[in-house]
Structure 1
Amino acid sequence: MRKTVAAALLVAAPLLAACTENTRADGEDTGDTRAVSVTSTDDGCELSAVEAPAGTLTFDVKNDGSQVTEFYLLGEDGLRIVGEVENIGPQLSRELVVNAPAGSYVTACKPGMKGDGIRADFTVSESDDAPSASADDQGVVDQALANYQAYVQDQSDQLVAKTEEFVQLYKDGDDDAARALYPEARVHWERIETVAESFGDLDPMMDAREADLEEGQEWTGWHRIEKDLWPPATGYQALTPAERAEYADDLMANTETLDGRVQELTYTVDQIANGSRGLLEEVATGKVTGEEEIWSHTDLWDFQANVDGARVAYEGVQPIVEAKDPELAATLTERFAALQALLDEQKTDTGFVFYDDLSQDEIQALSNAVNALSEPLSRLTAAVLS
């Protein structure tokens, strides 16, 4: 990520993060079970412990590699950013301090500050020092806003990296590899789709479907390339290498423009709540119907990504909702889990089954679960603003 922001808010309580200026680590063992030493190298990420009791945790991160690195503490799903420190130069150290409740987490070092990072599981066990907070505390609201900003910026960063890889494969004519990467790259778009759609000029250039084109509208973006990679059996004229390069470069340029705008955005709690609802609406109107990826049939990758984004947005404001409307919070948590269980049934070693391989009963079950979640999610904004 390009900007240092606070980290993601977990379900039960706010996680307050802070960091120190770059210093040299002395490697001293304090014996504190909540102090964890992290050594980042160009190809490794070693922690002195993989478990700590709930409370204020301190990660002392030293960079023994040759590249600038970052360190993240992520939620169990590997998406929610609990805390992060960035721009750690070679042979320098920084501290990450987080107030973490009991639960399962993921740690990640990012040599070169790119990609998913070198990851490992981390456990926070129950203790008497577990954090708590009131939803009326302005700090909870501030933390929720900073956390969502961090999440969107990180997803946008990853979208740029994956899109760059994808368009190069496509321009090189490596269609098998491009087809394999296509749904993986689009995951990062779909997780922040409602944010991307807020830029009215970019969304139609990047994500327009052929069926939705207006008269005279030039068709560019992801789905134009999708059709060329999964062409109809008859009546389609494949793009030339020059045309491929033109569409690929256009998609890459628009992705970089989007990223530049996203890095400067700030949010309000109602925007976060509305974004959660909007992402589920994207599922209902395109993904669960199979209309989004009409050529590749990779709709379930998009479906999962929209649900990821909706859930992360909800979990960011969940402490506020739990204090103001605990019944709504419980219902949302339950129905997000029920929908995820159905999606998990369709997972494969390479992602998901293709949409055209789903039975009508499976499609109906997914649709019913989306509808069951949509109703309580429509009340989220009112709950956080009450």
Structure 2
Amino acid sequence: MTARRLIPALAVAALGALVLSGCVAKSDAASSDALTVSSTASGCEVSGDAATSGTLTFDVSNDGDEVTEFYLLADDGLRIVGEVENIAPGASRTLTVVAQPGDYFTLCKPGMIGDGVGRAAFAVSGDAVELSGEDAEQKQQAVDLYAAFVKDQVGQLAPAVSEFVAAYESGDDETARAQFALVRAYYERIEPVAEALGDLDPRIDYREVDAIAEGLDWTGFHRIEKDLWVPAADALNADGETPAWQDWAPSTEAERAAFGDQLIADVQELYDYVHSDDFQESLDAQGIAGISNGAIALLDEVATGKIQGEEDWWSGTDLSDFAANVEGSKMAFSLVRDFAVAQGDEGAALADEIDAGYADLETALAQYGSLESGFVVYTELTDDDKRELTDLINALAEPLAQLTNTVLA
């Protein structure tokens, strides 16, 4: 096993949705009047289908019976420009992006699976949004630091995946099991990069239940995970209903080779992207709005899967993914924290509240282990343990949701 560089929590960042945005003074932004969105079981009603380039705000209300999410998609209908997840029935969340001129789509996804509902065209007109203001250089420095981190993480992910796959394909399951959570941590810190590239994240990281729901071939980390942690005879799939052994057999040597080689190829595609001009141009266009939204998106990753123990269904290594998401979210926040503080007393108070939220969450997680030494198996947590972590996530999510609006003020 090759030595891996362990990254302290304060040295980790993560990319949020690929927001086609820039950093502008408030006076240069579009109208501050928010667009409203009503998400239901069958619809996604947006109060308008056009806007002027600059800062756009969508106030999303869940008027249905299932947890939902809202997306602003690029013109290809695949790349995510902005998203807000984990909106409970009766609740509301806000998405803020800085949008460049172009054609987009809006979409809601009740149940947070499938193709979504209510896809509609959305047009942004006006002039391209450029970096401006006295702090433009500092904002670009934050973007550059973030870009360097993403490249570093994927640069470590690629060889780690190759080593992991070699053990899996050779039948050395003990070694592969020992590597699984550590390898995934690199991916979990930068997961929204792949999520913004159409079907790349589904190929790398979909759970079995998600692949079935969307009619996709099941590949990636979790397909390999099920081979490494063979389900017990009385185990159920993640849907809680289907017996784990129904229509299931351990992979043959040839199938292991196919799954392993596919994972290596998909990670290579991610590596090629983050080292491309397209990636750098996307980051430059995002500015600090993209980094701020990244902090929010990664905490949403925890709230929508890890805290329920549904991510690593077979291995029970959910807390490792949880910790990596939190590390990424915290560092993304750290890159824009000063911009929030610069907005005055309210911004400084918000930053302090977010700092405290991360500290409380990290303290609670430390009771169960660490990425370096390993965490307890998720099934060892009691209902009270899960409730405490859930409360801490919610306590952090509330002020964090205000971050993008604050740094763009």
TM interval, short-chain normalised: 0.5 to 0.7
CA contact (8 A) 2:307 2:322 kept: yes
Q: Cα 1:75–1:330, aligned 2, differ >3 Å: closer, same or farther?
A: farther
Aligned counterpart, 1:178: 176
The residue matched to 2:386 in structure 1 has which SS?
A: helix
Q: Distance in 2 between matches of 1:384 and 1:269?
A: 8
Q: Cα 1:205–1:309, aligned 2, differ >3 Å: closer, same or farther?
A: same
Aligned counterpart, 1:305: 324
Q: Is 1:286 aligned with 2:305? A: yes
- Match for residue 351 of structure 1 among 363, 370, 374: 374
CA contact (8 A) 2:10 2:327 kept: no
Q: Distance in 2 between matches of 1:278 and 1:140?
A: 23
The residue matched to 1:218 in structure 2 has which SS?
A: coil
CA contact (8 A) 1:80 1:151 kept: yes
Q: Distance in 2 between matches of 1:259 and 1:330?
A: 35
Aligned counterpart, 1:255: 267
The residue matched to 1:238 in structure 2 has which SS?
A: coil
Aligned counterpart, 2:200: 202
Q: Cα 1:215–1:345, aligned 2, differ >3 Å: closer, same or farther?
A: closer
Letter in 1 for 2:225: E
The residue matched to 1:220 in structure 2 has which SS?
A: coil
CA contact (8 A) 1:230 1:295 kept: yes
- Match for residue 341 of structure 2 among 312, 317, 322: 322
Q: CA deviation at 1:359?
A: 1.1
- Match for residue 333 of structure 1 among 346, 351, 355: 355
Aligned counterpart, 1:220: 219
Alignment of 1:104-123 (within 5 A): none
Q: Distance in 1 between matches of 2:369 and 2:7?
A: 21
Q: Distance in 2 between matches of 1:291 and 1:222?
A: 14
Aligned counterpart, 2:21: none
The residue matched to 1:288 in structure 2 has which SS?
A: helix
Q: CA deviation at 1:259?
A: 0.9
- Match for residue 152 of structure 1 among 150, 153, 157: 150
Give runs of ≥4 in structure 1 deviating > 6 Å: none
Letter in 2 for 1:162: A
Q: Distance in 1 between matches of 2:142 and 2:231?
A: 45
Q: Cα 1:293–1:383, aligned 2, differ >3 Å: closer, same or farther?
A: same
Q: Is 1:379 aligned with 2:377? A: no
Q: CA deviation at 1:156?
A: 0.8
TM-score scaled by length of structure 2: 0.61
Instruction: Report the RMSD for the aligned CA atoms in angstroms.
Output: 1.9
The residue matched to 2:305 in structure 1 has which SS?
A: helix
Bigger RCO of structures 1 and 2 (CA < 8 A, at least 6 apart): 2
Q: CA deviation at 1:76?
A: 5.8
Aligned counterpart, 1:123: none
Aligned counterpart, 1:241: 253
For structure 1, the residue ranges without an aligned partner over 5 or more in a row are: 1-71, 82-134
Q: CA deviation at 1:371?
A: 0.4
Aligned counterpart, 2:130: none
Q: Percent identity?
A: 43
Q: Distance in 2 between matches of 1:78 and 1:176?
A: 31
Q: Distance in 1 between matches of 2:223 and 2:142?
A: 37
Aligned counterpart, 1:79: 11
Deviations, residues 20-40 of structure 1 (Å, cap 9, x unaligned): xxxxxxxxxxxxxxxxxxxxx
Aligned counterpart, 2:39: none
Aligned counterpart, 1:362: 385
Aligned length: 261
Deviations, residues 346-369 of structure 1 (Å, cap 9, x unaligned): 106731111001111111111100
The residue matched to 1:233 in structure 2 has which SS?
A: coil
Q: Distance in 2 between matches of 1:367 and 1:215?
A: 28
CA contact (8 A) 1:136 1:320 kept: no
Q: Distance in 1 between matches of 2:188 and 2:12?
A: 16
Q: CA deviation at 1:79?
A: 2.6
Q: Distance in 2 between matches of 1:208 and 1:78?
A: 28
TM-score scaled by length of structure 1: 0.65
Q: Distance in 2 between matches of 1:331 and 1:186?
A: 29
Letter in 2 for 1:279: L
Q: CA deviation at 1:216?
A: 3.6
Q: Distance in 2 between matches of 1:284 and 1:369?
A: 10
Deviations, residues 282-311 of structure 1 (Å, cap 9, x unaligned): 100000110101111100000000001101
CA contact (8 A) 1:195 1:275 kept: no
Q: Distance in 1 between matches of 2:140 and 2:356?
A: 26
Q: Distance in 2 between matches of 1:194 and 1:315?
A: 18
